[in-house]
Amino acid sequence: MKPWIQYYNGPVPYEHLSSRHKTLVKMNYVLITSEILSHLPDLLILRTLIVMVVWTCSYRDVRSYYETDVVVRWFLGECKSKSEIHRRAKKFRKELKTAFKEYAKELEVEQVC
Decide if 32 is inside a domain.
yes
> pLDDT value at position 59?
77
Decide if 66 is inside a domain.
yes
For 11-65, write each residue's pLDDT tens digit: 677 788 889 988 998 888 888 887 777 777 778 878 888 888 898 888 778 888 8
Print the domain residue range for 41. Answer: 18-112
Decide if 11 is inside a domain.
no
The CA-atom distances, in angstroms, between 88 and each of 6, 8, 33 are 38, 32, 23
The CA-atom distances, in angstroms, between 3 and each of 7, 86, 90 are 10, 45, 49
> pLDDT value at position 78?
77
Decide if 45 is inside a domain.
yes
> pLDDT value at position 106?
76
Decide if 82 is inside a domain.
yes
- Quick check: 76 and 51 in contact, CB under 8 A? yes
Q: pTM of the prediction?
A: 0.67
Decide if 41 is inside a domain.
yes
Total domains in the fold of the chain: 1
